[in-house]
Amino acid sequence: MDTDDLIRHARRLIESGKKSSAAGALSEVMEFLRVYAGEKSAFFQNLSQVKQSWSDEYIMAYVVSNLGAFIRYAEKGLLEGISIERKAQIDVVSDFLDQANTLLSSKEVHPAAPAVIIGAALEEFLRNWIEEAGLALGGRKPSLDSYTKVLREADLITKQDAKDITSWSGLRNYAAHGEWEEVSDKNRISIMLESVNLFMRKYGQHSD
């Protein structure tokens, strides 16, 4: 089923749901989203939180709202790979990494400065990826660690990727908290920059 078919089917579900019971509509839409959005998507997760104590009218409104969000997500082309918006976001992140590289080349700048920028660029890259993939943080606070766990749980990154991100996050935290001796080696930060660049090239072309 291609994207246009998915959108048409989702709209049919909205119409048919109005003629069936709230429980029946909820079950049908959840199965649709489980298959085509994934169990870890925000769309499916939102509906899995529906309580039996809710009124039929509220359940139906919640179902329609979530299915409508899925339709808008699909209409933006986010089910077909990387979107124009995400390409722009990746370009911005790449600019940050270029800035970090420039700072690393300066003898007057402490390596802590580019380390912070690299960490911020990586965090933004992961945040945008999670947002586009429709994943939920599950109550976690936004952070490099949280983003890493969500992407790992969704099997979008490998175990080694998660270890690498944890290591890069550690360097960023040393720099951000003024632990200068931990980030005084420019070569170490240069390796961090190169590794993050490779990671972004690996995953920047697809996000699902």
Last residue of a domain, one of 48, 75, 102: 75
Task: Report if residue 208 sits inside a domain.
Answer: no
Residue 80 confidence (pLDDT)? 56
The answer on 119 and 51 residing in a single domain is no
Whether the Cβ atoms of residue 86 and residue 207 lie closer than 8 Å to each other: yes
Tell whether 57 and 153 lie within a shared domain.
no
| 44 and 113 in a common domain | no
Tell me, yes or no, whether 155 and 188 share the same domain. Answer: yes
The domain boundary residue, chosen from 21, 43, 75: 75
What pLDDT does residue 131 have?
A: 85
Statement to judge: residues 128 and 178 lie in one domain: yes
CA distance 52 to 66: 17
Cα separations (Å) of 88 from 44, 73, 78?
Answer: 27, 17, 14
Full-model pTM: 0.57
Say yes or no: 144 and 100 in one domain.
yes
Under 8 Å between Cβ of 134 and 42: yes
Write the CATH number for 98. 1.20.120.330
Number of folded domains that form the chain: 2
Given pLDDT bands bounded at 50, 70 and 90, which one contains residue 89? low
> Is residue 54 in a domain?
yes
Average pLDDT for the chain: 86
Q: What is the pLDDT of residues 1-48, one digit of tens each?
A: 577 888 899 999 999 887 889 999 999 999 888 877 877 778 888 898
Instruction: Give start and end residues of each alpha helix (H) in the chain.
Output: 3-17, 22-36, 42-48, 56-75, 84-104, 112-133, 144-153, 159-176, 186-203
User: Are residues 198 and 160 part of one domain?
Assistant: yes
Q: What is the pLDDT of residue 83?
A: 54
- Tell which residue, 202, 157, 193, has the closest CA to residue 172: 193
Average pLDDT value for residue range 134-144: 89
Query: In terms of domains, do 98 and 122 share one?
Result: yes
Decide which of 75, 107, 124 is a domain's last residue: 75
Residue 113, helix vs strand vs coil:
helix
Task: Give the residue numbers spanning the domain of 36.
Answer: 3-75
Calculate the CA dihedral of residues 187, 146, 152, 48 and round it to 10 degrees: -170
